[in-house]
Amino acid sequence: MGILDLKRAKNYVNSRFDTVLENVEVSKKDATITKANGAFLTYGTYFTGFGTQTYWRHTMVTCTPGDVYYVSLIIVNNTTVKFHIALCDENDKIIQTFLPYSDVGTIDDYQVTIPSGVTRMYIHSYTNGVADYLYVKKQVYLLASQQSVTDLSERVLSLETSDNIPAYFESHLQSKLTEIKQKTQQILNGDAFVFITDAHIGANSLSSYPMIREVLKQTSITKMIYGGDTCQAYGTKEYCINVGYIINDLFVSISEYGTTYLVRGNHDFTVKESVESSIGFTADRAFNYDLIIKNQEPYIKGVAGKLYYYADNDMQKIRYIFLDTTEKENAGETIPWGIGQGIYQEQLDWLINDALNVSTGWSVLVIGHTSCVTEIPAYSNTLDCVAGVLKALKNKTIYTYSDATLELSVNVDFTTKDTDVIAYMSGHNHKDTNATVDNLLFFSTTCDARYSDDGITRTPGTTDESAFDVVCVNTMTKTIDLIRVGAGSNRSFIY
C-alpha cells in the first residue's frame, strides 16, 4: 500500500458514479392535526383514499423512480405501532407495498427506493400516542459527470497537500486543542483516542485528517480509531478500489504520530453501480484484510485472515476490542452491497474466550460499526448475542442464547469475573445517539461525510463540513467525555 498514487485518484474521479449531494426534508407532520384519518381504502389493486377510524395518521409524497426516501415515525408514550407504505402510479394503482400493518415498533429511517412507474408514496400508521408525527427525508443523487465532478476532483487531488489545515478550521481547532489538553491532563487513570467514522469518501472534504494529525502531534494522544464505511453506496469497481488506497494513504500520513485502528463497515469495500442497477462490486476478504489489518499486525492480537482483533493499554489496564459486525459477506466482480450484517460463531467464541479473557481489574471498550441494541438507531438483531455477552460481563451474570437460523449459541457465566465493560461504541447510523441498557453504555457517533442525517447542514468551506471526536475515558470517575471537532457538540457520559 503506502503513498497515494494520484493516477488512481484521477481515474476514480473520471469514472461515473452517484454522489449523495444533500438530504432534503420532504414532509414533517404533527399527526394530531390530521383529522380525517383512517386505514387505506382500496378497490382491487387501486388506492382510493383513507378511512375515518381514530388514530390513523397519514401523508402523501410525490416522487419519481430512482428517488430514495427515509421514513421515520416518531412516537411518544406508545410502544406498538402498525405501519404501512403503498407506492402507486399516477392513477393510484398500487405497484408495491411495505410493512403491511405489522407491529413493528417505532420506525427509524426505513429506506424506500422508488421503482419504475411510481409517482406517489402513501404512508400511514395506526398510533395512539402523544406528539407523534411522520418524518420523510429524501436523498438527492447526481451523477459525478455533472456539476459534482469538479468539486470532487478538487477534493481528491487536495490529498497532495493533505498536511494543510483549511484556514476556516484554524481557530476552531486551536480552541479544541486547548480543551483536549486540559481534559487529558486531568486523566490519571484512563485513556484518550481520536474516533472518526463513516467517511464515505467522495462525500466529504478530507479536512479531518490533517486536523487529526495535528491532534496527535500536539497532545499526548497516540491512537486513532476509524469506525468503518469508507465508500459511498453507489459507484464503480474502480472507485471502490481506489478509495481503499486513498484511505490507506491518509492513515499512513497520520501514523508518524500515532497508531490507527480500523473497523470494517458495511460499505468497506462494496458498491452498487447506481440506484436502479442490479450489479456492482464487492471486494473479497483478502483485499479487506490487506487494507484494514495488515499494517496493524505488529500492534494488535487477532486471528490471521480475520477482521476482528484487540489492542491493549497495559499501563492503564484497558483493552480495545474491535469487532467485524459485517462478517457475512458475498464478494464478487458484479455483486452489489455484498457485505451482510452479523457475525459467525467463530468470532463470537473468540470474543468470549480470547478478547474478554483479561486479568482482574481490567476494563474493556468494544467498538463495532453497527449498533447491537434497539435503543441505538440502525441496530441489527443479528448482533443481539454480542450485546447479551457484554451486558452479562458488565453485570456479572449468566447469559444463554441460541438462534438456529443464525447458527449462533452462547452459554457464559461471568458471575465471578472482575472485568468492567466501559461501553460499546459504533457508527453506521450517522447520528450522535446514546443509551444505557441494563447498566451498559451504548453510543454512536455522527459521520465524517457531508451528509445531514444528524440534522446539521454540512456546508463545504465551514467547520460543519466534517466531524470527529476525541474520546477521553476516565476509569477512576467512570466517565467518558467526547470533544467534537467539526459539526456537532461535545458529549459526556457516565458508565
Cβ-Cβ contacts under 8 Å for 64 (sequence gap 6 or more): 114, 119
Residue 103 resides in a domain: yes
Q: Is 353 exposed, middle or buried (0-12, 13-18, 19+ CB in 10 A)?
A: exposed
Q: For residue 308, give its domain range.
A: 161-494
All three cell numbers of 223: 491512537
pLDDT at res. 98: 76
Residues 138 and 172 in one domain: no
- What is the average pLDDT across 441-463? 91
Pairing of strands 82-88, 68-74: unpaired
Torsion angle defined by CA atoms of residues 348, 354, 358 and 364, in that order, rounded to the nearest 10 degrees: -40
| Helix, strand, coil tally for the chain in percent (to 5) | 25, 35, 40
The last residue of a domain, from among 89, 112, 142: 142
Cis ω for the linkage preceding 443 (within 30 of 0) = no
24-59 tens-digit pLDDT: 555 554 443 333 345 677 788 888 887 666 566 677
Residues 228 and 306 in one domain: yes
Residues 195 and 93 in one domain: no
Alpha carbon 111 to its chain centroid, in Å, reads 15
Residues 70 and 183 in one domain: no
Q: Pick the closest to residue 414 from 400, 432, 402, 428 (CA basis).
A: 400
Residue 150 resides in a domain: no
pLDDT at 4 over 50: no
pLDDT at res. 457: 86
Q: Number of structural domains, the chain?
A: 2
pTM of the model: 0.72
CB-CB neighbours of 95 under 10 Å: 16
Residue 42 resides in a domain: yes
Residues 171 and 278 in one domain: yes
pLDDT at res. 427: 97
pLDDT at 268 over 80: yes
Residues 347 and 445 in one domain: yes
CA distance 119 to 60: 10
pLDDT at res. 110: 75
Residue 22 resides in a domain: yes
Q: Pick the closest to residue 162 from 197, 212, 198 (CA basis).
A: 212
The last residue of a domain, from among 142, 174, 203: 142
Residues 287 and 167 in one domain: yes
127-180 tens-digit pLDDT: 655 445 566 777 654 333 333 333 333 344 344 334 679 899 999 999 999 999
Q: Pick the closest to residue 74 from 118, 16, 132 (CA basis).
A: 132
Cα angle 479, 481, 483; round to 5 = 175
pLDDT at res. 196: 98
Q: Could you give the C-alpha distances from 81 to 37, 73, 372, in angstroms and in order?
A: 15, 9, 22
Residues 240 and 370 in one domain: yes
pLDDT at res. 109: 66
Asked whether 336 and 289 are in contact (CB, 8 A), the reply is no
Q: Pick the closest to residue 463 from 436, 484, 492 (CA basis).
A: 484
In DSSP terms, which residues pair with 492 in a beta bridge?
A: 481
Q: Pick the closest to residue 224 from 330, 110, 320, 89 (CA basis).
A: 320
Residues 173 and 214 in one domain: yes
CA distance 221 to 225: 12
Asked whether 364 and 394 are in contact (CB, 8 A), the reply is no
Residue 98 resides in a domain: yes
* CATH code for the domain in which residue 425 is found: 3.60.21.10
In DSSP terms, which residues pair with 318 in a beta bridge?
A: 313, 363
361-416 tens-digit pLDDT: 999 999 999 999 999 999 999 999 999 999 999 999 999 999 999 999 999 999 99
Q: In 107-258, at which residue ranges do the beta strands (DSSP E only) sit?
A: 107-113, 120-126, 133-143, 190-196, 223-226
Number of H helices, E strands in the chain: 8, 29
The last residue of a domain, from among 107, 142, 177: 142
Q: How many CA atoms lie within 13 A of 17 on its CB side?
A: 31
pLDDT at 218 over 60: yes
Residues 166 and 289 in one domain: yes
Q: What is the mean pLDDT of the chain?
A: 83
DSSP helix/strand/coil, 249: helix
Residues 489 and 388 in one domain: yes
CA distance 407 to 402: 8
Residue 152 resides in a domain: no
Residues 418 and 445 in one domain: yes
455-488 tens-digit pLDDT: 888 888 899 999 999 999 999 999 999 999 999 9
Residue 5 resides in a domain: no
Residue 2 resides in a domain: no
pLDDT at res. 163: 62
pLDDT at res. 245: 81
